[in-house]
């Protein structure tokens, strides 16, 4: 489903080259749920952006269902991303002047769906996440947890086969975080492939397996429940290369 072959990515920082990913080879099967953990600056978010077609690697290949993502032109890559990949961000990235239903309509509009079907699909998705009575509320009129649910509904708009989640529980209280993770597990049970970056051991354990990054390299794979709550595994800093 998702495959990285000898992928490296460098950044230039204050005149120095920083290697965020270092010769990473990784395969994620359809229907897997993988949590990605590791210390700040280990390359977790960079890995997610590269997987999602949003950040070109310096070398190596990224394949989605056998198709080399970065051998596609920008338009073809964007089209593949819209059809197959959904994103969940810690900051939600909702458009503040649009209502909940209008925010969920955005990917449908970009996909060329007619307006009536946009609104129908968006309303159905918001009903699914428990916000049928909040269709016309703007983000500022919603709680943080409700904003997260709007973001989850928007992510599902184009029925993606792959979900990439970057610290999806980072801004949430414990109860809301559990609800968000329950939702991701539900999506995984529908045979969607999920890759979730997290600094939270409890969240990592909700995945089927975890991989740890350190200095841009995958240093081990482990069934998610095999992790121990240890400061040596993760640090709680949110800074990320």
Q: What is the span of the domain harbouring residue 200?
A: 32-42+78-226
Reported as type and span, the H/E element at residue 164 is strand 162-166
> Which is more confident, 108 or 225?
108
pLDDT attached to residue 41: 85
Q: Does any domain span residue 13?
A: no
Give the tens place of pLDDT for each residue, 20-56: 999 999 999 999 999 999 988 899 999 999 999 999 9
Q: Please report which confidence band the pLDDT of residue 231 belongs to, taking 50, 70 and 90 as the band edges.
A: very low
Structure tokens at 148: 């997260």
pLDDT attached to residue 229: 41
Q: Does any domain span residue 1?
A: no
pLDDT attached to residue 233: 43
pLDDT attached to residue 161: 95
Q: Is the pLDDT of residue 232 over 60?
A: no
Angle ∠(63,169,167) on CA atoms, nearest 5: 35
Mean pLDDT value across the chain: 88
Give backbone dihedrals phi and psi of 193, rounded to 5 degrees, phi first.
-90, 130
Instruction: Report the number of distinct structural domains present in the chain.
Output: 1
**Cβ atoms of residues 103 and 179 within 8 Å:** no
Angle ∠(9,218,52) on CA atoms, nearest 5: 50
Q: Does any domain span residue 71?
A: no
Beta-strand pair 33-37/209-214:
parallel
Q: Please report which confidence band the pLDDT of residue 11 belongs to, taking 50, 70 and 90 as the band edges.
A: confident
Q: Is the pLDDT of residue 222 over 80?
A: no
Q: Does any domain span residue 73?
A: no
**Cβ atoms of residues 45 and 196 within 8 Å:** no
Q: Does any domain span residue 128?
A: yes
> Which is more confident, 224 or 201?
201
Give the tens place of pLDDT for each residue, 114-153: 999 999 999 999 999 999 999 999 999 999 999 999 999 9
End-to-end, the C-alpha distance of the chain in Å comes to 25
Q: Which has the closest alpha carbon to 221: 26, 40, 52?
A: 26
- pLDDT, average across residues 156-183: 91
Beta-strand pair 59-64/217-223:
unpaired
Q: Does any domain span residue 122?
A: yes
Q: Does any domain span residue 23?
A: no
Residue 167 sits in a domain of what CATH number? 3.40.50.300
Residue 211 half-sphere exposure, CB side, CA atoms within 13 Å? 21
Q: Does any domain span residue 62?
A: no
Q: Is the pLDDT of residue 107 over 80?
A: yes
Its pTM stands at 0.87
45 phi-psi bin (left φ>0, alpha ψ -120 to 50, beta other): alpha
């Amino acid at each position: 489903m998702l495959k990285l072959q000898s992928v490296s990515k460098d950044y230039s920082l204050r005149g120095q080259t920083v290697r965020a990913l270092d010769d990473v080879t990784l395969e994620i099967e359809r229907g897997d749920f993988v949590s990605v953990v590791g210390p700040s600056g280990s390359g977790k978010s960079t890995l997610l952006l590269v997987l999602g077609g949003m950040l070109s690697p310096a070398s190596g290949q990224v394949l989605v269902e056998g198709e080399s993502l970065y051998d596609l032109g920008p338009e073809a890559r964007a089209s593949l991303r819209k059809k197959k990949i959904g994103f969940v961000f810690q900051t939600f990235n909702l458009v503040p002047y649009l209502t909940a239903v209008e925010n969920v309509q955005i990917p449908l509009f970009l996909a060329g769906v007619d307006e009536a079907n946009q609104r129908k699909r968006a309303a159905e998705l918001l009903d699914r996440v428990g916000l049928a009575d909040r269709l016309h509320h703007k983000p500022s009129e919603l709680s943080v947890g409700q904003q997260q649910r709007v973001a989850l509904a928007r992510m599902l708009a184009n029925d993606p086969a792959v979900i990439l989640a970057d610290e999806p529980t980072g801004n949430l209280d414990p109860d809301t975080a559990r609800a968000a993770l329950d939702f991701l597990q539900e999506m995984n049970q529908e045979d969607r492939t999920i890759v979730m970056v997290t600094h939270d051991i409890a969240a990592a354990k909700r995945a089927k397996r975890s991989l740890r990054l350190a200095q841009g390299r995958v240093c081990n794979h482990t069934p998610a429940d095999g992790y121990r709550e240890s400061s040596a595994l993760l640090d709680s800093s949110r800074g990320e290369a």
